[in-house]
């Protein structure tokens, strides 16, 4: 099958596959604050925001930027078992296969023999922290008390559950950073930059103000939702481009297709 011009555009917005760090005001501010916090002698830190706000992207960027400069570890997937968690942590920190150990006490005693006396604490970036069992969170806290590790918990902030109200975070977290959803202007910049990063300059003109407003209305500035929505939009346009090219206006997007994408994503009640 012939490829449409929209096929490439669609692929730019595949969520979780294409890693583009788009420098937005709010993400820049959160990035700076995260760097400052990591450099402080803190044991526990909390980074939170709504799902899809770009927390994982920021963690990935921080890890990418600092992995060669300082001891930093990124754990993108959640763990539910203590031994499994300790094994992965050992492997990432010491870059070798972990020995057999029964629990966090053994892990800590082995790790202390490997650390230099004046060595800085290792920063561990933990994504999806809200999925960790409470027992494991307690063990992680004890690891932090050893001053050999500092942990940055990344959690989802939902309307129903205020993560900061949880006891183990309430009493021990020393620094909190919030990442909010994008504003209208940031969402617009995000889409434009995504297209420009992938050398699709000519398609930036496809989007007018009314289109950005509609996209903002559908996605509420959530970057993950924007990616999903634009993927669906270009998928629909791809179909028409290949099947009924006369229906496509190549100079400007038709509202009909934006609304169809919204219906398809459950953003509009049909």
Which residues contribute to the site for other proteins (CB under 8 A)?
1, 7, 235-236, 238-240, 242-243, 256, 259-260, 263-264, 268-270
Using the structure block, give the residue that is written with the tokens 């290792």: 122
Nearest distance from C-beta of residue 4 to other proteins, angstroms: 8
Nearest distance from C-beta of residue 263 to other proteins, angstroms: 5
Nearest distance from C-beta of residue 99 to other proteins, angstroms: 50
CB 226 within 8 A of CB 190: yes
CA atoms within 13 A on the CB side of 186: 19
Cβ-based nearer residue to other proteins, 151 or 218:
218
Nearest distance from C-beta of residue 234 to other proteins, angstroms: 10
CB 9 within 8 A of CB 203: yes
Cβ-based nearer residue to other proteins, 122 or 236:
236
Nearest distance from C-beta of residue 65 to other proteins, angstroms: 37
| Type and span of the H or E element at 153 | strand 149-156
Cβ-based nearer residue to other proteins, 73 or 237:
237
Determine the Cα–Cα distance for residues 11 and 265; give it in Å rounded to an integer: 17
Cβ-based nearer residue to other proteins, 27 or 219:
219
Nearest distance from C-beta of residue 218 to other proteins, angstroms: 13
Cβ-based nearer residue to other proteins, 168 or 239:
239
Burial tier of 193 (Cβ tally within 10 Å: 0-12, 13-18, 19+): middle
CA distances from 144 to 110, 138, 180, 214 (A): 15, 10, 27, 46
Q: What is the CA radius of gyration of the chain?
A: 22
Which residues have CB under 8 Å from 239's CB, separation 6+?
none
- Cα dihedral 99, 104, 109, 112, rounded to 10, equals 90
Cβ-based nearer residue to other proteins, 82 or 235:
235
């Amino acid at each position: 099958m012939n490829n449409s011009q929209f096929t490439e555009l669609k692929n730019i917005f595949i969520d979780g596959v294409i890693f583009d760090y788009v420098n937005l005001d709010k993400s820049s501010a959160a990035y700076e604050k995260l760097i400052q916090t990591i450099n402080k002698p803190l044991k526990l830190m909390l980074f939170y925001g709504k799902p899809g706000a770009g927390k994982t992207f920021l963690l990935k960027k921080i890890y990418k930027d600092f992995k060669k400069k300082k001891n930093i570890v990124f754990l993108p997937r959640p763990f539910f078992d203590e031994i499994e968690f300790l094994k992965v942590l050992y492997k990432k920190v010491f870059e070798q296969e972990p020995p057999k150990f029964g629990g966090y006490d053994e892990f800590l005693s082995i790790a202390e023999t490997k650390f230099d006396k004046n060595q800085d604490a290792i920063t561990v970036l933990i994504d999806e922290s809200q999925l960790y069992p409470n027992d494991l969170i307690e063990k992680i806290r004890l690891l932090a008390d050893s001053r050999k590790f500092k942990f940055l918990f990344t959690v989802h902030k939902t309307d129903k559950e205020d993560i900061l109200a949880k006891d183990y975070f309430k009493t021990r977290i020393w620094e909190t950073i919030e990442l909010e959803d994008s504003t209208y202007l940031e969402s617009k910049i995000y889409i434009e930059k995504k297209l420009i990063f992938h050398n699709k300059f000519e398609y930036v003109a496809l989007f007018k103000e009314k289109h950005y407003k509609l996209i903002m209305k559908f996605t509420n500035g959530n970057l993950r939702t924007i990616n999903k929505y634009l993927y669906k939009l270009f998928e629909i346009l791809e179909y028409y481009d290949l099947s009924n090219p006369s229906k496509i206006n190549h100079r400007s997007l038709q509202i009909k297709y934006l609304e169809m994408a919204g219906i398809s994503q459950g953003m509009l009640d049909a």
